[in-house]
């Protein structure tokens, strides 16, 4: 099942925000339609965020600025460094499967987690590996997953189950213009503990 969610500038919750360092000369405005989901405790958001884009769309911006923990590909460090809000925490992704294990560890402790990925390679295969790896740690194949396909700030929402996620992505054959945000819910329904940030800007490593 899928539904369309359209970004409307009139529903913007943020002012124009510079997401990249000044010397890169990139800026973006972000709108956050009320119909888009909130980042909640115990959720893992897998977010495709192209490093070459000059603007960040509403849902991706929401994940980047409201998740308790951001685990990012190193190429995305300029965006993370310039937009990480006070009290949030970010760290570069460890190699291979270590990134998803790190994210799941945070989510099980009740944190909201955003895994920022610079898209590339064979998308369906990468996401299939992600879902298979999660199935090793999560008991239910019927684990709830929401996929948001973003085309220039307009979103299509697709409901899926964890064990069918790879097939759903493969069947849709999303083009390069489309970026995906995949929300895994119910990893932990608890409340996140108090977070102590060791560094001034919350950026690790």
Residue 14 in this model has a pLDDT that exceeds 70: no
Stretch 99-105: mean pLDDT? 88
Q: Which residue has the higher pLDDT, 153 or 17?
A: 153
27-81 pLDDT, tens digit per residue, is 333 334 557 899 999 999 999 999 887 778 889 989 999 999 999 999 999 888 8
pTM: 0.77
Residue 192 in this model has a pLDDT that exceeds 50: no
120-171 pLDDT, tens digit per residue, is 767 877 888 888 878 876 656 557 789 999 988 889 999 888 888 888 888 8
Residue 5 is predicted with a pLDDT of 43
**Which residues, other chains included, contact 105 with Cβ-Cβ below 8 Å and sequence gap of 6+?**
none
């Amino acid at each position: 099942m899928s539904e369309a969610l359209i970004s409307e500038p009139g529903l913007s919750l943020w002012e124009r925000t510079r997401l990249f360092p000044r010397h890169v000369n990139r800026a973006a405005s972000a709108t956050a339609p009320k119909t888009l989901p909130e980042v909640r405790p115990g959720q893992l958001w897998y977010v495709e965020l192209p490093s070459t884009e000059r603007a960040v769309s509403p849902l991706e911006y929401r994940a980047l600025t409201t998740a308790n923990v951001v685990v990012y590909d190193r190429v995305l460090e300029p965006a993370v460094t310039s937009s990480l809000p006070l009290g949030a925490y970010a760290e570069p992704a460890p190699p291979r499967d270590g990134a998803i294990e790190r994210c799941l560890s945070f989510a099980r402790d009740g944190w909201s987690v955003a895994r920022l990925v610079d898209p590339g390679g064979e998308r369906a295969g990468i996401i299939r590996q992600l879902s298979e790896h999660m199935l090793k740690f999560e008991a239910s194949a019927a684990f709830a997953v929401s996929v948001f396909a973003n085309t220039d700030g307009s979103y299509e929402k697709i409901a899926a189950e964890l064990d069918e996620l790879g097939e759903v992505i493969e069947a849709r054959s999303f083009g390069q213009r489309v970026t995906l945000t995949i929300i895994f819910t119910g990893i932990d329904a608890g409340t996140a503990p108090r977070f102590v940030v060791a560094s001034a800007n919350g950026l690790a490593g």
